[in-house]
Amino acid sequence: MRIIIVEDEGCPYCGARWGHPDPSLNYPNRPKVCDEHGWWWRCYNPKCPVAYYNPDARMVELAVDIDFLGKEEGVLEEKERARRVLRARGWIVKR
C-alpha cells in the first residue's frame, strides 16, 4: 500500500493541508477515493464542513449527518455558508 501526502492540495474551504504554517490548519491530506472524476481528497479539519474535494474537477462534497462543529445549532447555517463561498470560488458542490 502506498500513501500519498502532499503539501499543495489544501481544502478549498478552510485551507487545511499537511505542513500548513498555522497549527490549527495542519492536518494530513491525501487522495482517498477515486471515481469517474478522478481522485477525491479528504479534509481532516473537524471544524470544516467539507468532507471530500476534487481539485482537478473542482468539485466538493460536504459532510452529511455529522456534527462537524461539535454542536447542533449552526450546522445547517455553516453548510449553507460553505456552499455559497465555494460556489463563489468556482467549485461545484455535490451535497
pLDDT score for 78: 82
Q: What is the C-alpha separation between 47 and 30, in angstroms, rounded? A: 18
Work out the end-to-end distance of the chain between its first and last CA atoms, rounded to an integer number of angstroms.
30
Determine the Cα–Cα distance for residues 55 and 53; give it in Å rounded to an integer: 6
pLDDT tens digit sequence for 18-39: 888 899 999 887 788 889 988 8
pTM here?
A: 0.77
| Bridge-based pairing state of the strands 59-62 and 92-93 | parallel
Provide the 10 A C-beta neighbour count for residue 52: 20
Query: Which one is predicted more confidently, 55 or 31?
Result: 55
